[in-house]
Structure 1
Amino acid sequence: MPPHPSSRVQQAREKLAGRLREIRRDAGISGRELAVRCGWSESKSSRIENARTPPSDADIRAWCRACAADDQTPDLIAANRQSDEAHVEWRRLQRTGLRRLQESTGDLYRRTTTFRVYVSDVIPGFVQTAGYASALLSSIADFRGTPDDVRAAVAARMRRNEVLSEGGRRFSFVLEESVLRYRLCSAATMAAQLGHLLGVMDLRNVAVGIVPFAEQRAVWPMPTFTIFDDRRVHADTLDAASTLIEPSQVELYTRAFERLSRQAARGAAARALIADAVASLG
C-alpha cells in the first residue's frame, strides 16, 4: 500500500509501526517467529512493521499476544483508530470561520455525561456570556485572519452551551485565579461574566474550583484541556487542537485534573476570589 496522502496520517502509521517493532524486539523474537505465532505470512509482519499495511484491531491483539505484551493492546488499538483529526492545526479548523467549529462539537457534547475542564487562560466556553465570547472570538478571528463570522459563532456557542442545564450531565471546572483577572474585554463585560460564573456555581450539576495565586503548588499550571467521560481528551496549543483517546493518555490527564482539583478553593473561598476579581475592575 502506498503512503497515505495525508502526511499526518502517514506519520501516525509509522509511529504505530515503530511501537509494534519495538514490542517484537523486546520479546526477543524474529519477524518469522512472530508470523508463526500469529498464523500469518512473514511478509505481513514486515509490511506492518514498515507502515506499508495498517494493522487491524485483531492484528494488534495477535501481535501483542505473541509477544506477551497484552497490557499494551488497549493503547495500541486506540492509537490505530485515531484519525487524521487527532492533531489538527487551528488554521485548518478555522479556515471557513468560527461558527462551524462551534457546531462541530455539538454531537460530542450531547453524548458526554461527565465533563472535567481545566483552564489556565480564559473563562471556560461552557460558562461564557455572549459578551465575553464575542470579545474572545473576535480576538481569535483577528489573530488567525479567519472569515469574520463572530456573531454567528457566538450564537452557535450559546446554543451548544445549553448542555450545561440539561439533566443527566455533570460538570467539574478547575480554573486558575489568573483566568478571573485577564482582561480580554471591557470592565463591564468582564463584571457581567464573573457575575454569571457566580450564578453557575449555584447549579446542582456543576462544581467550580479556583486555584489561588497564593497556593503553594504541587502541580504547575498547564495548558487548557477537557476530559469527556474518561474516554477522550481535547488538549489545545497555540497552533493545534489535539484529540487523545489512548487509555494511558486519558489516565495521565485525569491524574493531572485530580491533583489540580485538590489544590482548588471551593464554596465561599472560591466566591471570595471571584468577588475580589470583580472589585479589581474598579
Structure 2
Amino acid sequence: MPTASSSADSNWDDLLQQGTGPVQESFLDLVSKTRHYVGYSPDVVWGNLQTAEYAEAMLRLVVDFHGIPDDIQAGVTARTARAQFIGREGRTYHVLLGEQALLTNIGGPEVMRGQLRRLTEALSLPGLTLGIVPARARLLVYPGDGFAIFDDHRVEVEGFRGGETITDSDRLAVFRKAFDRLQPSAVYGTAARDLIETALSGT
C-alpha cells in the first residue's frame, strides 16, 4: 500500500496504527502538491485509479492484516479523491502496471469488472500516460517492489514491511533508472486496452 511518510510528518507505521484514514489523508496531501509523477505497480491497480469498491476491498485487507482501527470508509474517501488531480493544472502522470495487476483478484469478480472498466476509461485521461508491462514481456531490469516517484525528489516504496520514504539523491536515481528500464517493456494505447479487455473477459 502506498505511504505518505517523511521526516517532516508522522511516519507511515505511526499513522497506520490510527487507521486507514490518516494514512490516506496524508498521502492525498502529498498527491495534491505533486506536479510530475512516475510510478510502477506490478500486481495491484494504481491507487489514483482505484474505484471505491476496489479501494474498499484493498483497505479491508490492510485492516485485517495489521489489526488496525476499522475506519475503511474514511480511507476510501481519501484514496479515491486522488483521481481529481489527474489532468489538472498541468500535472503529469506516467504509470506502469504489471499485467498481473489486471488479474490479481481484489474483492471478487464484480469489483474487478468495475475496476477494469475504469482502467479502459482512464487510457484517454489528459495528463496520464498509462502503460502495461505484459507478463511475457522481456524485462531489462530484474522485478522489484512497486514504487512511486514524486517530482523527482521523493520516492515511496511499498510492501508488507510497511512503507519507506527515500529522498537521498543517489537512491532516488536508482528508482528512476529502474523506471526507465521497465518502460520499454510496456505497451500503450490499443495494445494496453487489448490486455485490459482480455482480463475483463476472463472475470
Alignment of 1:171 with 2:93, yes or no, is: yes
Higher relative helix content: 1
Matched AA of 2:109: A
Alignment of 1:263 with 2:185, yes or no, is: yes
Alignment of 1:113 with 2:113, yes or no, is: no
Alpha-carbon spacing, 1:89–1:159, altered in 2? closer, same or farther (3 Å)? closer
CA distance in structure 2 between the aligned counterparts of 1:221 and 1:125, rounded to whole angstroms: 20
CA distance in structure 2 between the aligned counterparts of 1:280 and 1:183, rounded to whole angstroms: 11
Q: Percent identity?
A: 34
Alignment of 1:123 with 2:50, yes or no, is: no
CA positional deviation for 1:110: 1.9
SS of residue paired to 2:54: helix
2:67 to 145, 152, 162: 145
Matched AA of 1:117: G
Moved over 6 A (4+): none
Alignment of 1:83 with 2:7, yes or no, is: yes
Matched AA of 1:177: E
Matched AA of 2:175: Y
Is the CA contact 2:19–2:71 (under 8 Å) kept in the aligned structure 1?
A: yes
CA distance in structure 2 between the aligned counterparts of 1:106 and 1:181, rounded to whole angstroms: 26
Alignment gaps of 5+ in structure 1: 1-81
Partner of 1:217: 139
CA distance in structure 1 between the aligned counterparts of 2:28 and 2:132, rounded to whole angstroms: 27
Is the CA contact 1:118–1:174 (under 8 Å) kept in the aligned structure 2?
A: yes
Is the CA contact 1:210–1:265 (under 8 Å) kept in the aligned structure 2?
A: yes
SS of residue paired to 2:163: strand
Higher RCO (C-alpha under 8 Å, 6+ residues apart) = 2
CA positional deviation for 1:257: 0.5
Deviations 1:62-100 (A, max 9, x none): xxxxxxxxxxxxxxxxxxxx73869x563x331111011
Q: Residues 62-73 of structure 1 correspond to what in structure 2 (within 5 A)?
A: none
SS of residue paired to 1:277: helix
| TM norm structure 1 | 0.67
Partner of 2:20: 98
SS of residue paired to 1:240: coil
CA positional deviation for 1:152: 1.5
Is the CA contact 1:94–1:101 (under 8 Å) kept in the aligned structure 2?
A: yes
Aligned residues: 198
Partner of 2:3: none
Is the CA contact 2:43–2:102 (under 8 Å) kept in the aligned structure 1?
A: no
Aligned-residue Cα RMSD (Å) equals: 1.7
Alpha-carbon spacing, 1:254–1:147, altered in 2? closer, same or farther (3 Å)? same
Is the CA contact 2:86–2:126 (under 8 Å) kept in the aligned structure 1?
A: no
Is the CA contact 2:86–2:125 (under 8 Å) kept in the aligned structure 1?
A: no
SS of residue paired to 2:126: coil
